[in-house]
Amino acid sequence: MLWLIFIVLGLASPQVELELEQGESDFVSGNMAGAIPHWSSALELARHEDDKDAQVETLLRLASAHRRSGGLAKAQLMLDEVSQRAVEPPQLAQLHLGRGLLHLARRDCQGAETQLREAFRVFQSLNDPPGAANAAYNLGVVRLKQGR
């Protein structure tokens, strides 16, 4: 998914970058079982290096992979950890999107709509058309599930 691709130029160590890239390759091909170990390794390295930005990025990625593989409780833990940090607006938009998709996976359309609306708002304020489009698309999915 396009919203998962983050630009981390110069922010993470080469080892973290490698694990992120390998996990992204697995994720894009639908291999969550491959993505999760790579991103878990990236998170461990980022924590060891005290790289807060790489930690948040990796937690957001892990939340998505766990959600897509059915690990909703693990996804919630990852998103909860992100929400306890002071995050920048691009990460905040991703957090709201992740929460919205998690609510959707749990069939909580009202919670999904609230989070996805906020994600859409933040993406628009950042002038991020792909992010806003992703949030809008998923709002459409919510409305279809609600029969609207």
Contact 45, 56 (CB under 8 A): no
The pLDDT assigned to 13 comes to 84
For the whole model, what pTM was predicted?
A: 0.87
The pLDDT assigned to 1 comes to 40
Tens-level pLDDT at each residue, the chain (148 residues)? 433 344 333 457 888 899 999 999 999 999 999 999 999 999 999 999 999 999 999 999 999 999 999 999 999 999 999 999 878 999 999 999 999 999 999 999 999 999 999 999 999 999 999 999 999 999 999 999 998 7
Residue 120 CA to residue 128 CA, distance in Å, equals: 9
Residue 146 CA to residue 104 CA, distance in Å, equals: 11
The pLDDT assigned to 12 comes to 72
> What residues have CB less than 8 Å from 22, skipping those under 6 apart?
34, 38
